[in-house]
Chain A
């Protein structure tokens, strides 16, 4: 499957969800439900999301993708509650929902950034399990 069509498929799944876009927590719940649904489809033994695994993903020094972006922290910085900076110098608002309430509220944005950031860092797309773990991590901070 081509990267873009994989992205499309992921998005179609998310879009198919009954999105409770009216409120931020509602939108987040819908996005997380989507990840859970996909994770269960991929692995019948799915046991829910774990913020600690999300932290490990975020802090890990993977170096499996592009040489200049070995880790999520390359751009987001070591603390998700603080702002990061892209390699080209743009400020990235903190990922932690407690600091940036608009995080994980737009399914298209979430899908787009997971898609490309995971490929930059891990050299592959993140699984639904990984995305849900990470989202749980960033939401719980």
Chain B
């Protein structure tokens, strides 16, 4: 039997007709005419007729050619979806027409062209896909779009955004957007985030950013610099937070008024350039009390390692030999902090000074994940140790804030 087939079964002594949905964990799932799904042993289900094919009626979408042209690149994150109430199936929508049908107001913000380089769950993202994504975005910018929107699952969105940020100099806004609550629910944050991202993509901005809910309310979205943002909650709408810096803009809802912050980079401030080599043999680990130094042996073949150390950027002295050995073998070791907020300083305590003597690079106030992505990119650009150190310690895309301002 296949989804949609007409079946019958006996429930409490009565014969009931239903629609066959699927078989899961040894149970047949049926949908009753009341709309409820039930599960029962497959042997209790009798086939009575084939699924009736129903072609969905879809209104024609005509885009307004006077509006700014925006590119929507979908990677698998669901910004729009459709529910088949007959079978209960939820499908994600990614063509321009489908997105406008799901979020009609999008049509009044821009006209859209869409690309889908791949479609994956964001936890399955890989550096090779970051490269593919960066190339796709670059091509869209070269094609002359006014802004680019990338729909992305939220789990690894911050990694992808910072990877694109390092690979790409962009004259136009490149806006990553997603939703924390599934797009099929009427309360989803998808529509507001999508609309705000379209407004941001047509605004006078010129950098890579993440656009998500600024608060628990449906009142404004915050635009976060790609290299300074982190998903700080598993499920809340306002999970994305700029760490150690202010968001680069806010977009009010439902007005969609974009207010850039003074430190935002303006549209056209840089020429489009793509530096799309990444060294994938890099790793990130968090130090914890009692960590077995032997774990470091498994990083012997890596070209770079980022450590999320304790406090100001420390590890236990038992790890010191292993770290010296890594550096000796040409592995770049960068220290960040598992505190996430604040700057690494390995000059205060002996352990820190030992790390510096061993050749560890202080990662300033970089987020550990950003430092990892940056290290992959830096090692993709140069093999020269002095150059690597210099690039790692200088801000390339706003990932390092030179002063720790009070009040953030």
> Are A and B physically bound partners?
no
